[in-house]
Amino acid sequence: MADSQLYSRLLLSKGAGYPLWLPEPYDDLPSAYKEIGAAIGDVGVITSDGAFDFVFNICVARDHPINSVGVPEDFEVAALSHGDIRRAPRHYPPGSDVSSAKLKKRSLAINASSGDNPIIPAGGGAGFSISTSSREAAVLLLPDGGASMDLRRKQLFRDYALKHADNWYRFLNRDLGRMVENGSIYLITGVDKAASWGVACFSQDTSDGDVSLELKASMVASGNIKYSWTSTEISPIAARAGPDEPGNLNQAVFLRGYKVMLRERFAGLRGAVKVSPVEDAKPRDLFPRKSHVPYSDVKLSSSRLEFTGSGSTGPTDGDAVVEDFPEPIHIYHPADLINELILQDVQTASVSVTHDSDWISVLQDESIIPEGQELYRRLLEKYPLSTNEEGGVFFNSFDTSRENSESPVTESAFNQVLDQNYTPSHNHEPGVRLLLLGQSESGKSTLLRQFQRMYDHENFEKQRILWRPIIQSNIINSIRTILTIVAPNSISPRIDSGRSSPAEASGDSITVPGSIAVPAPEGTSNSFSHIEALATTLLPLLDSEDGYKRGPSVEQNLAEQLIPLPTMEINAERTYRRSDASRVPVIGSKELEIETQLRLQSMCGPMVRLWKNSDVQAILKTKNIHLEDNPGFFLKDLSRVTALDYVPSGGYDVIKAWAETAEPSEHTFEMKANAHSPRGTWSIIDVGDKWLTFFENVSAIIFLAPLSAFDQCLAEDPTINRIEDSWAIWREICSSILLAQVDLILFLNKYDVLERKLKAGIRLSKHIVGYQDRSSDVKTASTYLKSKFTAIHESHCPKRRSLHSFFTSVTDASSVNLVSSLRDMVVRQNLVTSDLL
């Protein structure tokens, strides 16, 4: 089987439409077409090498440059209304794959030691490696992601196709001499497009260990990234990558539409139709051995095609019959046999159309698509076959009552649709796309919440209650931190085993390796036994956290409108995340949440006493622990947040709550017009630590650097100061060639905490050697830290660009104003072209 056939056959079962082995537009097509690639309204055929051979488009006028090949005689424009096209610009996030088999995928590390320019494609690292142990597989890899667009009002095209089918075949075969087989004409109603892709497939008789491939990025002269496959196992794998000239979102990886078939008007032909039993059918068996080529008046003399002349059993009116393919390469498309079977069953019909969504809707999670006859059987069970007055037949999978209520077509609305369909790729991404970057706990999610609070207020309000388990977990964490320091002997056995009972734990004989022994300040033995007693009382609380089941992160649970992005394996050296998974707040069941709230309420008194205890405060101070500045600190609000009817407040609790971002997510906001900025859609991506994977079509990056982290080290490497780590990430972002065009906004965050720490006497010079003996006031310190960031920016940017930097405390309500001025700035600085807003 040809590679293209194997590939499409394996990926058809994914239900995304017809997969193209050759996503790039053919070179000889009109340049206006090549720029945008396949689009809604295209009429063409799938070729045996797995491409879409475009002929004309029904949505634009006959003299549109796209229709330079010509249009059928009775051509009329298929008029669409505004809103008829549903667009999902980021349907495929960068680094996505569509694969027929289980795949191990990894982003490749950039080899920093090679001294190469760091090329960081959108997919992260220097490309991807994939491997599978399956016997056969087809895979589509989209390093830069992809968009999808679909016609909402498909009925319009269905009726159009039924009406014009005859004309189309006449035009293609008689006028253009294309010799397209009956059933092959495809009217496109939906397409998935990408700017880059890799496709691969193989099939081998025996499974011989893993098959692996690497899709690697390289930069071409235009400055764009091009991908190519490398493999050590050339033999069984067919693989392609493209495009050759990257830059446009014009590569069609999946098509959806109507397949159109005419009734074969000759008895001899109908008799030749052979339908194989479903169980042992192979793709080529599913097609008639004689193919009908309607309206061809070409004298066919090749061995493949034979014109059988006129006569009672042969074609007349210039029709041709393709006879006896020596090794026919039929392009397998599920809709083809369905159309044939429909026409067999409905003898009065002269033309049949089947939409891809019809057969997709009867797929049942199968790894290989069932044969057409089985699909036809399922379709008959699900939808009625309907005919129209002109002799057209189709599966009626639509709610026709809705069809009649469609809004009338207007000229301007139609033009808008054309614009949507035919504007060049860089204009395809409407609105502002902001990427939030920065080391862990830098304030990315907090800033996002400020955006949500301001611009998606209704949802933000609705979601407040969902933060309660997170806040519960934050409180318990704070108590655990205190007890670990002030009463290690009481709680450490629990930390170790998580299971020992309070009776066991309180025994003096238990020795705890690694626990911190804090000497009791003189004359405080009474107080210390009081602390021990409090610790024993509070121990069950620590257990209650252990009862939390691992679950999705709060970001995943929060809102339906969040678009989850895929988790990718990222090179460990490039993650700046602490690896302590036990710190990830998780959400358990509602019952557990209520139970925990009850416990918290019943222990509110002991918790307050523990926190307020002067010895506890003294010990924390001696050990330089400033709990108030730790993420998720709620001990000052205990009586409020432990109330049974507690609902987190939006302005304070939700903003202060601490939940490590486990999964990247994208959030969309509809921004209303204000005095400075027009209306527009903004999307903000909070990537957690998976940041290398996402920067396609980003308008600006907001980099958050927590200034207060100057006295902290990375948990995973205590030799690295967190501020220095921030500088290292910043350097990497500034120097990236691929980000050279992206505007950078620097948030020097947690200014409030920096100020408190300095006032508390923590000296910057003790932790940042270069600070030397400068003054310890917050102004001097913050200006110094900022100058380090700006110097890195200046010396590492591949080309000059301005930097917008701010001192921020994104937890403060005032940062809402900053967010709104940021909005104006993003617009003013022309970070996006104004026509998009």
Please name which of 603, 661, 657 lies closest in space to residue 630, comparing C-alpha atoms. Answer: 657
Cβ proximity to Mg ion: between 492 and 661 the closer is: 661
257's tokens: 């539409």
In whole angstroms, the minimum distance from the beta carbon of 658 to Mg ion comes to: 9
Please name which of 144, 137, 127, 130 lies closest in space to residue 99, comparing C-alpha atoms. Answer: 137
Instruction: Report the sign of the C-alpha dihedral through residues 789, 790, 793, 795, in that order.
Output: negative
Cβ proximity to ligand GTP: between 144 and 660 the closer is: 660
In whole angstroms, the minimum distance from the beta carbon of 812 to ligand GTP comes to: 7
Please name which of 455, 766, 714 lies closest in space to residue 573, comparing C-alpha atoms. Answer: 714
Please name which of 527, 492, 523, 524 lies closest in space to residue 506, comparing C-alpha atoms. Answer: 492
In whole angstroms, the minimum distance from the beta carbon of 655 to ligand GTP comes to: 6
Q: Which does 711 bind (CB under 5 to 8 A by kind): Mg ion, ligand GTP, none?
A: none
634's tokens: 């709620």
Q: Which does 42 bind (CB under 5 to 8 A by kind): ligand GTP, Mg ion, none?
A: none
Helices (H), ranges, 138-239: 154-169
Cβ proximity to ligand GTP: between 555 and 743 the closer is: 555
Cβ proximity to ligand GTP: between 588 and 631 the closer is: 631
Cβ proximity to ligand GTP: between 527 and 556 the closer is: 556
CB atoms closer than 10 angstroms to residue 377: 14
The CA distance from 597 to 429, in Å, is 45
Do residues 600 and 644 lie in contact, with contact meaning Cβ atoms separated by under 8 Å?
no
The CA distance from 314 to 536, in Å, is 96
Do residues 757 and 711 lie in contact, with contact meaning Cβ atoms separated by under 8 Å?
yes
Cβ proximity to ligand GTP: between 135 and 480 the closer is: 480
Q: Which does 810 bind (CB under 5 to 8 A by kind): ligand GTP, Mg ion, none?
A: ligand GTP
Residue 646 assigned ligand-binding role: no
- Sheet (strand 211-219) strand order: 104-107, 127-132, 211-219, 225-230
In whole angstroms, the minimum distance from the beta carbon of 627 to ligand GTP comes to: 12
In whole angstroms, the minimum distance from the beta carbon of 630 to ligand GTP comes to: 8
The CA distance from 744 to 436, in Å, is 10
In whole angstroms, the minimum distance from the beta carbon of 814 to Mg ion comes to: 21
- DSSP strands (E only) in 21-95: 42-46, 52-57, 85-92
In whole angstroms, the minimum distance from the beta carbon of 444 to Mg ion comes to: 5
Cβ proximity to ligand GTP: between 581 and 594 the closer is: 581
- The residue type of 812 is D
Cβ proximity to ligand GTP: between 600 and 810 the closer is: 810
Q: Which does 749 bind (CB under 5 to 8 A by kind): ligand GTP, Mg ion, none?
A: ligand GTP
**By CB under 5 A, how many residues form the interface with Mg ion?**
3
How would you class 723 by CB atoms within 10 Å of its CB: exposed for 0-12, middle for 13-18, buried for 19 or more?
A: buried
CA angle 554, 557, 563 (to 5 degrees): 105
Cβ proximity to ligand GTP: between 291 and 809 the closer is: 809
Q: Which does 441 bind (CB under 5 to 8 A by kind): ligand GTP, Mg ion, none?
A: ligand GTP
Residue 444 assigned ligand-binding role: no
481's tokens: 């931190």
SS (H, E, C) 466-513: HHHHHHHHHHHHHHHHHHHHHCHHHHHHHHHHCCCCHHHHHCCCCCCC
In whole angstroms, the minimum distance from the beta carbon of 509 to ligand GTP comes to: 39
Cβ proximity to ligand GTP: between 556 and 829 the closer is: 556
Please name which of 469, 508, 471, 503 lies closest in space to residue 488, comparing C-alpha atoms. Answer: 508
The CA distance from 57 to 393, in Å, is 23
CA distances from 610 to 530, 535, 562, 567 (A): 9, 8, 39, 41
Cβ proximity to ligand GTP: between 214 and 660 the closer is: 660
Query: Residue from 100, 397, 445, 472 that binds Mg ion (CB under 5 A)?
Result: 445
Query: Residue from 99, 251, 506, 661 that binds Mg ion (CB under 5 A)?
Result: 661
265's tokens: 């008007």
Q: Phi/psi at 185 (nearest 5 deg)?
A: -70, 135
Can you spell out the DSSP letters for 307-325? ---SSTTS--TT-EEE---
Strand 743-749 to strand 700-706: parallel, antiparallel, or no bridges (unpaired)? parallel
In whole angstroms, the minimum distance from the beta carbon of 706 to ligand GTP comes to: 7
CA distances from 791 to 183, 721, 769, 787 (A): 65, 19, 17, 6
Residue 750 assigned ligand-binding role: yes
Q: Which does 484 bind (CB under 5 to 8 A by kind): ligand GTP, Mg ion, none?
A: none
In whole angstroms, the minimum distance from the beta carbon of 632 to ligand GTP comes to: 5
* Residues within window 61-120 making contact with Mg ion, judged by CB under 5 A: none
Contacts to ligand GTP by CB under 6 A: 438, 440-446, 631-632, 656, 658, 660-661, 688, 749-750, 752-753, 809-811
Do residues 209 and 177 lie in contact, with contact meaning Cβ atoms separated by under 8 Å?
no
Interacting span for Mg ion (CB under 5 A) from 409-417, 439-447, 561-569, 643-651: 439-447
In whole angstroms, the minimum distance from the beta carbon of 686 to ligand GTP comes to: 7
* Length in residues, the chain: 837
In whole angstroms, the minimum distance from the beta carbon of 660 to Mg ion comes to: 6
Q: Which does 809 bind (CB under 5 to 8 A by kind): Mg ion, ligand GTP, none?
A: ligand GTP
Cβ proximity to ligand GTP: between 174 and 756 the closer is: 756
124's tokens: 């992260």
Residue 511 assigned ligand-binding role: no
Residue 751 assigned ligand-binding role: yes
Residue stretches of the annotated binding site for GTP = 749-752
Residue stretches of the annotated binding site for Mg(2+) = 661
Residue stretches of the annotated binding site = 661, 749-752
Q: Under the rule (CB under 5 A), what is the footprint of Mg ion?
A: 444-445, 661
